[in-house]
Chain A
Amino acid sequence: MKLTVRVWRQDGPLGEGRFDTREVDGVEPSMSVLELLDRYNHEVVTSGGEPVVFESDCREGICGACGIVVNGRPHGPVKRTPACHQRLNSFDDGATVTIEPFRAGPYPIIRDLMVERGALTEVLQAGGHVHVAAGTAPDADADRITFDTAEQALDFAACIGCGACVAACPNGSANLYLGAKLAHLSALPIPASERGSRARAMLNEADLMFGPCSLHGECAEVCPADIPLVAVSYVNRERLRAGIAGS
């Protein structure tokens, strides 16, 4: 099939951006949009241009490195699917595919489609962890966690840290990401012991960088890890709980 590909080019965080357009012929419906970009770049490079900068790594939906906007949607047209798994069979032969970077206040553009998502790591650093020194943990079998609790923790722990939720949110809120982490850790007995201090640390940090949540629900629609929208409610729940518990 043949596609018209419009790609956002921008030299640096402050540079002015523009779209470059190119027709790419002979692509196959089974290719991913990232493979389309590989192909696009091959043509750009062999005709003397500079390739489009974009990030990806595992290409199997788990590392969270691939963050782009395809035809106006973070990751692409298929809901809850990462860019590396978005296939070209979503597009008709001859269609135009527009590829842009994640656009969100907390994500400065580095170059072309590459953005800086360090803000996500910073909130994790602030409190998304557990204080247990190597070798001091109790027997994991003695730490009884029912099947249902483990499954619930896993539903929230599935987040791949791609940051698409923030890019999809009109407010640039990270509540899906934050709520997923808080819900995951507060479901498990040992991590739950630091529940209050964790919530305070993470949310204080997040308030500095991300917007508030007004329940648009766009985040869950694009989340490639199927994090349920209910995760956002954990942010307020944990905030309230931490506030009441006091420090």
Chain B
Amino acid sequence: MIFKRSRTRSAPQEVPAVIPPGTKAGVKAGSILDPNEPSGPRDTAWQRARDNYRLVSPLNRRKFSIIVVGTGLAGAGAAATLADLGYDVTSVTYHDAPRRAHSVAAQGGINAARAKKVDNDSIHRFVTDTVKGGDFRGRESEAFRLAEESARVIDHMNAVGAPFAREYGGSLATRSFGGVQVSRTYYTRGQTGQQLQVAAASELARQVRAGRVKQYVRHEMVDLIVKDGQASGVIVRHLLTGELKPLLAHAVVLATGGYGNIYFRSTLAKNSNASAAWRAHRRGAHMAMPSFVQFHPTALPISSEWQSKTILMSESLRNDGRIWVPATPGDVRPPNEIPEEERDYYLERKYPAFGNLTPRDVASRAAKEAIDGGFGVGPLKNSVYLDFRDAIARLGLETIASRYGNLFHMYHDATGEDPTTSPMRIAPGAHFTMGGLWADYQLMTSIPGLFVAGEAGFGYHGANRLGANSLLSACVDGWFTIPYTVPNYLAGKLGQPLLDPDDPAVTETMADAYARFDRLLGIGGTRPPRDFHRELGEVLYSGCGVSRTREGLTHAIGAIRDIRERFARDLLIAGPVDRVNQELEYAGRVEDYLQLAELMCVDALEREESCGAHFREEYRSDTGEAKRDDSTWASILAWETGSWDDTPTFTRHVEPLSFEAVPLEVRDYR
């Protein structure tokens, strides 16, 4: 493996490793968390970590059972690779086929610091972009791992059948994404996620056919089994028969994706949810920075009450599209009748260095400000224009259509409008959760034996994820991290038997799961789960959305408690427990959202600074940009939830951050 040294190395910058003061009511101060990073310089940390990881000899591997929940890029990669290495692997997904995992929907691309071109990309630059893009709220050491393994990810996915876009001469084609000034995004038309996901699912299928992976499709994980503080299995529910069943293992990997759907309307698939992660949290796994949510600037605006989601338009469109609003509020002329000088290309005006390619948080906030300021366009005045007119004039319709053809097609399907003749309308939509289960450098959560991979975790992206970095992180976790770190954990457990199915830890967790479904079915109220979910989404968009205030968050917490109270009293679920019951599945997910939502608001309230996507209006610079407070908040907050009654108690643990390769600086995309 090629190992590049960073340009400069300095001692970690002095950041006081204090627990930030002044926890709020209902919040207890916890302990300082250790990320278990290898000591020494960060740029060589991953190599040192791997050199020191313990191994399991090939003959002993089949004695270890590992459950991987989720078959997205992270889960399929982890399960296929662990199985190929010889472990006894069980893979669980609620989909009917592994290929349908939500990774399939990613459009734009996957980053890799292959640095083949002479645009001066490098591992170091990748790390700088990622850490800075995340507004210094992620671990630098992990950004190095991401960068180093990225080359292998592309090689592997190419070999197993993902047809990447190519240049005429046959080398890989790349494009630029928001927040970077080099071209390191690899792609396949607007279907990058699909091509990677199908290739990954095929790898998993190969292991299933070879008998090395036991595959449970249409099974939902409903709880985690913990024995003596160690993750020992999961409880799954068969979605067609309702049967509950314990699956036991020496280690469990959760690769269950993000929880952006908590906002009701998001760019995620309808079934994406927080439940696996939240259930693990309730069994003791810390949840890190749950309020760090990315709102995608190029989602389609809401046009009707029954619209079930916000469709995403790939960020790659910002390479050629120009974003603007009319210069005068309330201008109702059709876009093509508004002359050049009466348009405000506000990103180009405010951020000349990055223009339309500013990172997502900045672009979303700017759009929200334009819309809130009365400059919004469209029937509901809730969107801004993304215009290809100039690009078509410059490069020709054919070139633009070959770049974005299927996205234009999708836009046309969704809206009936043709983006080559009149501009698209876009608006910020909940998209990606940087927050997730806290894990150390080995991806192990605060429950030994429970690992997390992909978007379900919190790693890499800090307070704002760079476009095309998350397909990469899911792949790096699955193929090139979990296969090193899980064996490192298992090596010490040789000879340890699986938990006895009659062990109280199993029977009690099973009993909890039965009781929970009985309780939900027994409420017998009048409103289906969707109603509560929709209400919650509205509360979160306004209280814990693109921008936040102390007052708004406090209000949101009250509103969430109110919805929760009504949910417990007035939920209606039609149909019985023992066969397909999609309303029951939905209700379980909404119940978990109603708890997580409160923690999100508490987390956002607690962090008294603005950073990345977490924009607290009270903390802004003279120019109106996000204002970090590194002396107090250069840290990861990881939460523990105590017993849950009407007013839950949360304990806040802190992992201090320091930066050695990327000096702390104010993010400036001007």
Contact = CB atoms under 8 A, between A and B. Distances in A.
B242 to A, nearest CB: 12
A61 B270 contact: no
A124 B270 contact: no
A30 B311 CA distance: 13
A133 B308 contact: no
A45 B524 CA distance: 12
A61 B304 contact: no
A57 B191 contact: no
B511 to A, nearest CB: 27
Interface residues of B, number: 80
Interface string A33-65: 011001100101110111101011111111111
Interface stretch (B39-47, B577-585, B615-623, B654-662): B577-585
Contact of B416 (A87, A140, A184): A87
Contact of A63 (B100, B152, B413, B526): B100
B209 A161 contact: no
Contacts of B191: 62, 154, 158
Given A137-B158, A140-B172, A28 B163 contact: no
Interface in B172-189: 172, 188-189
Interface string A171-185: 000000000000011
Interface centre among B158, B483, B572 (most CB of A within 10 A): B158
Contacts of A184: 161, 163
B104 to A, nearest CB: 5
Contacts of A44: 574
Given A30-B416, A134-B81, A158-B191, A62 B155 contact: no
B498 interface: no
A247 interface: no
Given A31-B304, A58-B269, A42 B528 contact: yes
Interface in B74-89: 77, 80-81, 84
Nearest to B116: A141
Interface stretch (A95-103, A110-118, A214-222, A231-239): A110-118
Contacts of A56: 270
A117 B479 contact: no
B158 A147 contact: no
B271 interface: yes
A164 B50 CA distance: 46
Interface string B87-103: 00000000111111010
B97 A111 contact: no
A61 B406 CA distance: 11
A154 B188 contact: yes
A161 B166 contact: no
A126 B572 contact: no
B523 interface: no
Contacts of A59: 269-270, 308-309, 311
B170 A62 contact: no
B590 to A, nearest CB: 14
A117 B163 contact: no
Contacts of A61: 410, 413
Given A59-B308, A110-B240, A125-B208, A140 B583 contact: no
A138 interface: yes
B194 interface: yes
B203 interface: yes
B201 to A, nearest CB: 8
A35 B308 contact: yes
B306 A39 contact: yes
B580 A132 contact: no
A234 B71 CA distance: 29
A57 B95 contact: yes
Contacts of B80: 134
A85 B580 contact: no
Contact of B580 (A111, A117, A134): A111
Interface in B136-161: 152, 154-161
A130 B84 CA distance: 13
Interface residues of A, number: 77
Given A85-B413, A111-B579, A140-B158, A63 B306 contact: no
A213 interface: no
B198 interface: yes
Contacts of B480: 134-135
A51 B527 CA distance: 13
Contact of B410 (A60, A118, A128): A60
Interface centre among B80, B104, B166 (most CB of A within 10 A): B166
B518 to A, nearest CB: 18
Interface string B506-548: 0000000000000000000011101000000000000000000
B624 interface: no
A117 B96 contact: yes
Interface string B292-324: 000000000001101111011000000000000
A191 B160 contact: yes
Interface in B96-123: 96-100, 102, 104-105, 114, 116
B167 interface: yes
Interface centre among A45, A53, A89, A153 (most CB of B within 10 A): A45
A48 B526 CA distance: 9
Contact of A140 (B164, B303, B304, B574): B164
Contacts of B304: 28, 30-31
Contacts of B309: 59-60
A42 B80 CA distance: 40
A144 interface: yes
Interface string B578-605: 0110110000000000000000000000
Given A31-B306, A57-B271, A147-B166, A161 B99 contact: yes
Interface string B193-218: 11100100111011011000000010
B483 A134 contact: yes
Contacts of A64: 99-100
Interface centre among A45, A57, A118, A128 (most CB of B within 10 A): A57
A168 interface: no
A125 B156 contact: no
19 contacts: A31-B307, A38-B530, A45-B572, A53-B580, A56-B270, A60-B414, A62-B104, A65-B95, A89-B416, A110-B240, A130-B203, A135-B156, A137-B156, A140-B159, A146-B169, A154-B195, A157-B198, A160-B194, A188-B163
Given A57-B271, A157-B198, A187-B163, 10 more contacts: A59-B308, A117-B96, A118-B96, A128-B205, A129-B160, A134-B81, A140-B154, A146-B168, A146-B169, A149-B166
